[in-house]
Amino acid sequence: MDTTQTMVKMVLDSWNTLLKQFDTALNSITDEQLLKEIAPNKNRGVYLVGHLIAIHDDMLRLLDLGDKIYPELHEMFIKSPDKSMAPIPSAQELRAYWKNSNEILAQRFDSLQPEEWFQKHTAVSNEDFVKQPHRNKLNIILTRTCHLSYHLGQFILLK
């Protein structure tokens, strides 16, 4: 395994580990618990799940792997704070979206060759990428892994 393959494997292993941890937490929480706030006057669990789905869904576009699957979630869970839009999908629907979204991401990630992860993502111009080659597809996975880790820490408070 060369350095490029090793780097990609390390990042994707971290991503997949956090996804499994979040799945475990999500599967241990009832739909009723998902309706609770993480802390007084903070986001509900259902909002965090929707938020993560919307963020992960946007990765398809950023990584040039296709269109969003759930574009309707962007306004509800990225642009708007919790409890500002109604109705939102049910906890049961969000659980299904979460599972489907992660399955599609895994399939698309598997389609990339290791060197493709070091190509620019779609939110950076060709000119900027020449100056900042770290703004690549693999870096999107790194930042989203950190984002997922942050929200996993919050999510655990629902129990």
Residue 8 — pLDDT band, cuts 50, 70, 90?
very high
DSSP annotation string for 87-152: ----HHHHHHHHHHHHHHHHHHHHTS-GGGGGSBPTTS-HHHHHH-TTSBHHHHHHHHHHHHHHHH
Tens-digit pLDDT profile for residues 23-43: 999 999 999 999 999 999 999
pLDDT at 16 over 90: yes
pLDDT at 159 over 90: no
Tens-digit pLDDT profile for residues 104-140: 999 999 999 999 999 999 999 999 999 999 999 999 9
pLDDT at 86 over 90: no
pLDDT at 1 over 90: no
Domains in the chain: ranges and CATH: 43-158 (1.20.120.450)
Which positions ≥6 away from 118 have C-beta within 8 Å?
4, 133, 136, 137, 138
